[in-house]
Chain A
Amino acid sequence: DSGVTQTPKHLITATGQRVTLRCSPRSGDLSVYWYQQSLDQGLQFLIQYYNGEERAKGNILERFSAQQFPDLHSELNLSSLELGDSALYFCASSVALRSRNYGYTFGSGTRLTVV
């Protein structure tokens, strides 16, 4: 157990639907990152939150949104789902805003399948 908890582990849904992925960071970590791992795009950074505020944005679609709550857990909302959104979605956490000095801890991911 890495200390980063992602739920659910698996999710199967239909095209056009909306889902919410949840991440609880490791205790004491203020930064939360979301990554998407797909067969055709590889591992891509989506978005970072630090202590409740959005701090960096990557290749995140407009249909996707995220937020970090006061208890520091984060949710990634995916709407109007398409087949191409099927992927493994990772959450990672770190203690600081600039995390490279401290490292990241990854969760075990949520496998999303859109049918």
Chain B
Amino acid sequence: AQTVTQSQPEMSVQEAETVTLSCTYDTSESDYYLFWYKQPPSRQMILVIRQEAYKQQNATENRFSVNFQKAAKSFSLKISDSQLGDAAMYFCAYEGTSGSRLTFGEGTQLTVNP
């Protein structure tokens, strides 16, 4: 079974600075997708960024980018120019070949200090 591990329960960053959230996963599949979701206090799960495993190029969405290391099974999220609105719980998630479920990590609570 696939597992997703986020080793940082909490992280903090100063406003306008850069922070990196870590995620590792375990799978025997070669074809899969990886996601970062954000859950603010409103509880809404919001997709931040998505990476397809067969793509070498790291995904980027505005201030959010990933460092995808397939061989190391690592998928970290970098948030540049952090804003107060970035404060939230961040979940790393995996979806495999079946395409019918997400496996989530434990989450990292990000605090942004003004």
Knowing that A43-B107, A108-B43 are A-B contacts, what are 18 other residue pairs whose CB atoms are under 8 Å apart, sorted by A's residue number? A42-B105, A44-B104, A45-B103, A48-B100, A48-B101, A56-B98, A58-B101, A90-B45, A98-B99, A99-B95, A99-B99, A101-B99, A103-B47, A103-B50, A104-B47, A106-B45, A106-B46, A111-B43
Question: Bound state CA distance, A45 and B101, in angstroms?
Answer: 6
Minimum distance in angstroms from A73 CB to a CB of chain B: 19
Give the residue name and chain of the B residue nearest to A99 (CB). B99
Tell which of B33, B43, B105 touches A109, judged by Cβ atoms closer than 8 Å. B43
Task: Tell me the B26-78 residues at the A interface (CB within 8 Å).
Answer: 33, 42-47, 50
Listed from nearest, the 9 A-B pairs whose CB atoms lie closest are A98-B99, A106-B45, A56-B100, A43-B104, A45-B101, A100-B33, A100-B95, A100-B99, A108-B44
Question: Are A98 and B100 neighbours in the complex by a CB distance under 8 Å?
Answer: yes
A114 at the interface (CB under 8 A from B): no
Q: How many residues of B contact A (CB 8 A)?
A: 20
Tell which of B45, B99, B100, B106 touches A42, judged by Cβ atoms closer than 8 Å. B106
**Which B residues lie within 8 Å of A81 (CB)?**
none
> Can you sample 21 A-B contacts with CB below 8 Å?
A2-B44, A33-B101, A35-B102, A42-B105, A42-B106, A43-B91, A43-B104, A45-B102, A56-B100, A97-B100, A98-B100, A99-B99, A100-B33, A100-B95, A104-B47, A106-B45, A108-B42, A108-B43, A109-B43, A109-B44, A111-B43
